[in-house]
Homo-oligomer: A and B are copies of this chain.
Amino acid sequence: MPELRKDPITGRWVIIASDRAKRPTDFERAPVKPTGQGFCPFCYGNESKTPPEILAYRPQGEPNTPGWSVRVVPNKFPALGIEGELARQGEGVYDKMNGIGAHEVIIETPAHDATLAGLSPKNIEDVLWAFRDRMLDLKKDPRFRYILIFKNYGEAAGASLEHTHSQLIALPIVPRSIREQVDGAKQYFDFKERCIYCDIIRQELEAKIRVISENEDFVTLSPFAPRFPFETWIFPKRHEAFFEHSSPRNFENLARAIKSLLLRTDLVLDCPAYNLVLQSAPLRESHLESFHWHIEYMPRLTRIAGFEWGTGFYINPTPPEEAAQYLREAQVEETVPA
B176 touches A313 (CB 8 A): yes
Q: Mark A274-298, 1 if CB is under 8 A from B, else 0.
A: 0111110000000000000000101
A2 touches B305 (CB 8 A): no
Determine the distance from Cα of A4 to Cα of B303 in the docked complex, in whole angstroms: 27
Complex interface: chain B residues within 8 A of A3 (CB): 96-99
Across the interface, A305 reaches (CB within 8 A) one of B6, B77, B157, B200, namely B157
Complex interface: chain B residues within 8 A of A173 (CB): 4, 13
* Known contacts A80-B15, A99-B17, A172-B4; A305 and B275 CB within 8 A of each other: yes
Q: Does A256 reach chain B (CB closer than 8 Å)? A: no
Determine the distance from Cα of A304 to Cα of B300 in the docked complex, in whole angstroms: 10
Complex interface: chain B residues within 8 A of A13 (CB): 173, 175-176
Q: Does A79 reach chain B (CB closer than 8 Å)? A: yes
* Known contacts A158-B303, A175-B312, A275-B309; A203 and B296 CB within 8 A of each other: no
Complex interface: chain B residues within 8 A of A305 (CB): 150, 152, 157-159, 275
Q: In chain A, residues 145-181, which have Cβ atoms closer than 8 Å to a Cβ of chain B?
A: 146, 148, 150-152, 155-159, 167, 169, 171-173, 175-178, 180
Identical copies of this chain, number:
2
Q: Mark A196-237, 1 if CB is under 8 A from B, else 0.
A: 100110010001000000000000000011000000000000
* Known contacts A176-B12, A305-B157; A5 and B96 CB within 8 A of each other: yes
Q: Does A20 reach chain B (CB closer than 8 Å)? A: yes
Interface of A is mostly: mixed
Minimum CB distance partner of A18 in chain B: B99
Q: Does A306 reach chain B (CB closer than 8 Å)? A: yes
- Number of A residues near B (Cβ < 8 Å) is 75
Q: Does A81 reach chain B (CB closer than 8 Å)? A: yes
Q: A2-B98, A16-B99 are in contact. List 15 more A-B contacts (CB 8 A).
A: A1-B81, A1-B84, A2-B81, A5-B94, A5-B95, A8-B95, A13-B176, A17-B99, A93-B203, A150-B309, A156-B303, A157-B305, A158-B304, A178-B311, A275-B306
Residues in A lying within 8 Å of B, measured CB to CB: 1-6, 8, 11-13, 15-17, 19-20, 77-81, 84, 91-99, 146, 148, 150-152, 155-159, 167, 169, 171-173, 175-178, 180, 196, 199-200, 203, 207, 224-225, 275-279, 296, 298, 303-307, 309-313, 315
